[in-house]
Amino acid sequence: MSIIKERRKLNREIRKVNTIFLMAHKNLDLDALGSSIGMFQVLKKRRKKCYIIIDDKTHEPGVQKILRELEGCINIIKSEEIEEYMSKKKNRNLLIILDTSKKDLVQSQEALDKIEKKLIIDHHELGKTTLKEATIIVDNKVSSTCEMIASLIEYYDVEIDSYYATILLSGIVLDTNNYTLNTTAETFYMSYYLSSLGASAKKVQYLLKQDLKEYTERQKLMSSIETLEGSVAFTKATPYTIYRREDLAKVADTLLFFNNIEASFVIGKIGKDTIGVSARSLGNYDILKVLEKIGGGGDATGGAAKFEKTTISKVEQEIKRIIKEEGE
């Protein structure tokens, strides 16, 4: 695994500093939070002062459960508190960014400005908005950032509580959609390893339980599915409902389970004046070509885009036009 091969780079960055801040992307999911908590345990063994930056005001159900259950067990701060915990010498602070490399997606722009040294640990492909001033450890062949951190825990023989192992396992299960996407032999091995540390499959399902109202809203997106160019599933929301980005992503994942579907595109409002697009692929259809033409990004199997002050119909027309061009 790439992160083990690049452990010297990781060790070099960690060794130089006293205080380390951990930060993932906005709208935390179980992979982002799980990898942050797992990395916290690795750094705890290295006797580093460590803090997790979380500015999100609302959380998806699984993340909310974890934060409630771990209250007081790990050091969680808001970006406005960073200076209070920083080492006086600026070069003795490090910001580790997990589960994203893109500066426009992180929890806190303030953290990027205040902490000079930065390290990225991620499993997504790099993009146009990837932080150029950071040391980068990216492995897009693994299922999740939780898988990367679990491999570090095994390599350094870090003792962790069974609940932390469960959180890491939940991140793997989430990002593989129950081991149906982006899964390798290493993914199954790391899942076995976490289970050997006491990770509970039953507790994982508890963390993955969904809100009934949100599930019902997502199901509405399944009522207008079209098939484009023979293998691309396409659906759009009405303009009257605002979805979370992860809701669109979950629908895009679900569409890949239908016969003969190689890729999916889902459009919906993610803000009062913002339209979001989520796309997924099994790997045989290049969604990135489409996404880049509309100003989005991602990798071979997943990506997204957003539009400001436009309509769902206009975004739909543009995406369908590009998909048609790509199919000719």
List pLDDT tens digits, range 283-322: 889 998 999 899 888 777 888 898 999 999 999 999 999 9
Pull the structure tokens for residue 144. Answer: 């999740």
Q: How far is 93 from 133, CA to CA, in rounded Å?
A: 15
Pull the structure tokens for residue 20. Answer: 């380390």
Residue 1 banded pLDDT, cuts 50, 70, 90? low
Residue 328 banded pLDDT, cuts 50, 70, 90? low
Query: What is the reported pLDDT for 215?
Result: 80
User: Domain 212-327: which CATH class?
Assistant: alpha beta
Query: What is the reported pLDDT for 85?
Result: 95
Residue 154 to residues 3, 97, 132, 188: CA-CA distances in angstroms? 12, 21, 30, 14
Query: What is the reported pLDDT for 182?
Result: 84
Q: How far is 51 from 21, CA to CA, in rounded Å?
A: 5
Residue 223 banded pLDDT, cuts 50, 70, 90? confident
Q: How far is 272 from 255, CA to CA, in rounded Å?
A: 26
Instruction: Find the mean pLDDT for residues 4-12.
Output: 92
Query: What is the reported pLDDT for 129?
Result: 85
pTM: 0.84
For the domain 2-208, what is the CATH superfamily, name and number?
A: inorganic pyrophosphatase (n-terminal core) (3.90.1640.10)
Residue 206 banded pLDDT, cuts 50, 70, 90? very high
Burial class (CB within 10 angstroms; exposed 0-12, middle 13-18, buried 19+) of 298: buried
Pull the structure tokens for residue 82. Answer: 């960073």
Residue 243: pLDDT over 80:
yes
Q: Kindly report the average pLDDT of the chain as a whole number.
A: 92
Q: How far is 324 from 112, CA to CA, in rounded Å?
A: 40
The more confident residue out of 93 and 250 is 93
Q: Beta partners for 107?
A: none
From start to end of the chain, where are the E strands? 19-23, 49-53, 76-77, 93-98, 117-122, 135-138, 226-228, 232-236, 263-271, 274-281, 297-298, 302-308
The more confident residue out of 38 and 224 is 38
What are 126-179's pLDDT values in tens digits?
A: 878 899 899 999 998 999 999 999 999 999 999 999 999 999 999 999 999 899
Residue 324: pLDDT over 80:
yes
Q: How far is 55 from 46, CA to CA, in rounded Å?
A: 26
Query: What is the reported pLDDT for 301?
Result: 82
The more confident residue out of 225 and 1 is 225
Of 150, 116, 128, 146, which is closest to residue 207 (Cα–Cα)?
146
Taking the domains of the chain in order of start, what are their residue ranges?
A: 2-208, 212-327
Query: What is the reported pLDDT for 12?
Result: 93
